[in-house]
Chain A
Amino acid sequence: MSPLVAVLYIVGIMAVFGSAFALTTIAERKTLGRMQNRFGPNRVGPFGILQPMADAVKMLTKEDIVPSSADKLLHFIAPLVLTTPVWLNFAVLPFGDHVVAARFDAGLLFFFAISAASELAVFMAGWSSQNKYSLLGAMRAIAQMISYEVPLVLSTVTVVMMAGSLSLTDIVDAQSSYAFGWLARWNLFTPWGLAGFGLFLIAATAESNRSPFDLPEGESEIIAGYLTEYSGFKYALFFLGEYLGLFAVTGLGVTLFLGGWHAPVKALAWAPSIFWFAAKFAALIFVFIWARATLPRLRLDQLLAFAWRFLVPLTLINIAAAAAWHYSAWWGFQGAMATRWVLCAAIIGFPYVWLGRSLRGGSPALRKYTYAE
């Protein structure tokens, strides 16, 4: 593509997702507030809409404190190493019809490679602060991120299998037709897609260090984890990097499971494709905020056990269910669709229930307080 178009893409992505970052911070605070029976911030502008400006001024004018025993170079580089690769993630996401910055044959692999590359920055941040809370937080963060990469990647394997390509534009194209003449063939509307989407959402929440998986930066637990020694603009950069990672993985979820830029019903396909992408994106961000308002934080051992002993087996079983769906596609008898749905749902559902039961460890016995009786 010509350099002009490339520059337009770069500027566009940075402008759009930069302002999306600002909007998301205020939307999140207000939505969290409403879900917690209170107003969000509503003092700065009308309905608090200028709150991100106030936050920006605060972050920029804060003193940049670097601990005297910290590793100066690593402490300085860590926010940059975190934030810079995250912008690359947006290059492969198809935002609309023929609106994609880079068409890679292995676009999905590129996406996951970049997500993995930014994990090293977390370690750099935690270690360079020479602070035991930071180091502990960094190690927990990396353990969590590595553990949840496996279900994240495995849950997308089903989509790749069914679309037959790692290229994100091909995956969106595979969801382009409309079943029954009106309902879109999103991957969400298949049993393996539904289960895969759920698993993807859980793994994505954990990858972005969001509640209920926000133990690394647990605000009430470990001071601020690997962010403890960062103040001012560097903290803002970490914040930005985290939210951009969230946007990237949300965009990926929309692309893989929600049909990318396709409209949900054929009647509404006249609206511009970027609008549909943005609408689904906003809905998914709302789901993330909703999860943050609802669920308590998981402890580290619960977190890791959940990843390795529950999510990974389920994603593998999901692959088997997708295979069953694919190989039963030639069934043409009456009620074939319902049978396929029931079969795939059973393939996923029975292990889900059984794993859920066996991993719960039974309800805790009633405590007996000998001295209180």
Chain B
Amino acid sequence: MLSNLPFLSCAVLTLLAAIAAMTLRNLVHCALCAAASFAGLAAIYLQLNAEFVGFAQILVYVGAVAILIVFTILLTHGSDVKAGEPVRSSSLWTGLGVAAVVLSALVAPITRSASLWLLPSANPQAPVAAIGRVLMTQYVLPLETIGLLLTAALLGGVVIAMREKPARKTPTKPSRAPSRELSHAA
């Protein structure tokens, strides 16, 4: 039990943070608790001696995804919406059933997998050089596909954020005096 203490404390913190992220009233608090759960996950990865994944988890999730969530909340005034009465859905039991099915579909392969019985070793089994080599030779197709996916997401973001060209009837003449320009400004 004591030897598992680091893992147990990280796991408990992650779970608590995740539960808080779901149940807190203030939306920004939820986002920050989600970031804390990401950090807890990174701690678990690091305990498994998966250096690269752990640091990448912090860099990507805590450093970028959490900030993305926070920006979304701010830009859509989500923090103005106060949590009101809990919503009673009409399809509550159906939803619970589907959730149970999905959970069992996730848990079943995990419990039957062989990597549960692997022991963590002192030296990292996956030095970064090896990860890089494997990414570039064996897994290059998924890598490039992910790259394409990210590019598509980036382009989508740019398109959504792009301002539309304003349709102006009278173009502002820059040679006029500033006061008149102000009155013509669209």
B156 interfacial contact with A, CB 8 Å: no
B148 interfacial contact with A, CB 8 Å: no
Q: Which of A109, A114, A116, A120 contacts B32 (CB 8 A)?
A: A120
B150 interfacial contact with A, CB 8 Å: no
How many angstroms from the CA of A120 to the CA of B36 in the assembled complex?
Answer: 11
Q: Which of B28, B51, B124 contacts A127 (CB 8 A)?
A: B28
List, in ascending order, chain B residues with CB within 8 A of A117's CB: 39, 58, 62-63
A302 interfacial contact with B, CB 8 Å: no
User: A112 and B59: CB pair below 8 A?
Assistant: yes
List, in ascending order, chain B residues with CB within 8 A of A119's CB: 63, 67
How many angstroms from the CA of A142 to the CA of B62 in the assembled complex?
Answer: 13
How many angstroms from the CA of A370 to the CA of B179 in the assembled complex?
Answer: 11
Q: Which of A104, A109, A139 contacts B74 (CB 8 A)?
A: A139
How many angstroms from the CA of A98 to the CA of B67 in the assembled complex?
Answer: 37
B95 interfacial contact with A, CB 8 Å: no
How many angstroms from the CA of A74 to the CA of B52 in the assembled complex?
Answer: 30
User: B177 and A371: CB pair below 8 A?
Assistant: yes
CB distance from B165 to the nearest CB of A (A): 18
How many angstroms from the CA of A149 to the CA of B63 in the assembled complex?
Answer: 10
Give the nearest-CB partner of B59 in chain A.
A113
List, in ascending order, chain A residues with CB within 8 A of B79's CB: 127
List, in ascending order, chain B residues with CB within 8 A of A113's CB: 55-56, 58-59, 62-63
A146 interfacial contact with B, CB 8 Å: yes
A125 interfacial contact with B, CB 8 Å: no
List, in ascending order, chain A residues with CB within 8 A of B176's CB: 370
A105 interfacial contact with B, CB 8 Å: yes
**Binary interface encoding of chain A residues 326-357 relative to chain B, with 1 for a CB under 8 A from any of its CBs, else 0:** 00000000000000000000000000000000
CB distance from A73 to the nearest CB of B (A): 9
How many angstroms from the CA of A105 to the CA of B179 in the assembled complex?
Answer: 63
How many B residues have CB within 8 A of the partner chain? Answer: 28
**Binary interface encoding of chain B residues 24-48 relative to chain A, with 1 for a CB under 8 A from any of its CBs, else 0:** 0010110010010001000000000
User: A146 and B67: CB pair below 8 A?
Assistant: yes
Known: A116-B59, A120-B35. A146 touches B64 (CB 8 A): yes
User: A124 and B56: CB pair below 8 A?
Assistant: no
The binding surface of chain A is classed by DSSP as helix
How many angstroms from the CA of A74 to the CA of B64 in the assembled complex?
Answer: 20
User: B59 and A109: CB pair below 8 A?
Assistant: yes
Question: Which A115-173 residues sit within 8 Å CB-CB of chain B?
Answer: 115-117, 119-120, 123-124, 127, 135, 139, 142, 146, 149, 164-166
**Binary interface encoding of chain A residues 160-188 relative to chain B, with 1 for a CB under 8 A from any of its CBs, else 0:** 00001110000000000000000000000
List, in ascending order, chain A residues with CB within 8 A of B28's CB: 127
List, in ascending order, chain B residues with CB within 8 A of A371's CB: 177
A368 interfacial contact with B, CB 8 Å: yes
User: A109 and B55: CB pair below 8 A?
Assistant: yes
B128 interfacial contact with A, CB 8 Å: yes
List, in ascending order, chain A residues with CB within 8 A of B35's CB: 120
Known: A120-B66, A123-B70. A105 touches B58 (CB 8 A): no
How many angstroms from the CA of A112 to the CA of B35 in the assembled complex?
Answer: 17
Known: A120-B32, A120-B67. A109 touches B62 (CB 8 A): no
User: B64 and A165: CB pair below 8 A?
Assistant: no
How many angstroms from the CA of A114 to the CA of B46 in the assembled complex?
Answer: 14
User: A106 and B177: CB pair below 8 A?
Assistant: no
User: B67 and A123: CB pair below 8 A?
Assistant: yes
User: B51 and A105: CB pair below 8 A?
Assistant: yes
A110 interfacial contact with B, CB 8 Å: yes
User: A104 and B63: CB pair below 8 A?
Assistant: no
User: B129 and A165: CB pair below 8 A?
Assistant: yes
How many angstroms from the CA of A109 to the CA of B56 in the assembled complex?
Answer: 7
List, in ascending order, chain A residues with CB within 8 A of B142's CB: none
User: A166 and B128: CB pair below 8 A?
Assistant: yes
Q: Which of B29, B52, B58, B71 contacts A142 (CB 8 A)?
A: B71
User: A116 and B63: CB pair below 8 A?
Assistant: yes
List, in ascending order, chain A residues with CB within 8 A of B74's CB: 127, 135, 139
List, in ascending order, chain B residues with CB within 8 A of A120's CB: 32, 35, 62-63, 66-67, 70
Most B Cβ at <10 Å: residue of A127, A142, A164, A368: A127
CB distance from B120 to the nearest CB of A (A): 15
How many angstroms from the CA of A120 to the CA of B35 in the assembled complex?
Answer: 9
Give the nearest-CB partner of A138 in chain B.
B74
A-B contact pairs, 26 of them (CB 8 A): A105-B124, A105-B128, A106-B51, A106-B55, A106-B128, A109-B52, A109-B59, A113-B62, A115-B63, A116-B58, A117-B58, A117-B63, A119-B67, A120-B35, A120-B62, A120-B70, A123-B67, A127-B28, A127-B70, A127-B79, A135-B74, A139-B71, A142-B71, A165-B129, A166-B128, A368-B175
A-B pairs, 3 with minimum CB distance? A116-B63, A113-B58, A113-B59
